[in-house]
Amino acid sequence: MSGAFTVDADGWVPAARKLPSPNFEARPQGAVPTLIVVHNISLPPNEFGGTAIAELFQNTLDCDAHPYYDTQLRGVRVSAHFVIRRDGALEQFVSCDERAWHAGPSNFFGRERCNDFSIGIELEGSDTTAFEAAQYRTLAALVSALQARYPIDALAGHSDIAPGRKTDPGPYFEWPRLRRDTSLDGRYFPYLKFSEKR
- Residue 61 to residues 17, 21, 55, 105, 141: CA-CA distances in angstroms? 19, 12, 5, 23, 30
With CB under 5 A as the contact rule, the residue among 91, 97, 160, 168 that binds Zn ion is 168
CB nearer to Zn ion: pick between 39 and 99: 39
**Least distance (Å) between residue 27 CB and Zn ion:** 19
Neighbours of 12 (CB within 10 A): 18
CB nearer to Zn ion: pick between 8 and 112: 112
d(CA 195, CA 164): 24
Closest CA to 155 of 36, 71, 1, 15: 36
122 is known as an active-site residue: yes
**Least distance (Å) between residue 16 CB and Zn ion:** 19
Site for Zn ion in 36-65 (CB under 5 A): 39
**Least distance (Å) between residue 157 CB and Zn ion:** 8
Exactly one of 25, 47, 55, 122 is catalytic; name it.
122
Site for Zn ion in 148-167 (CB under 5 A): 158
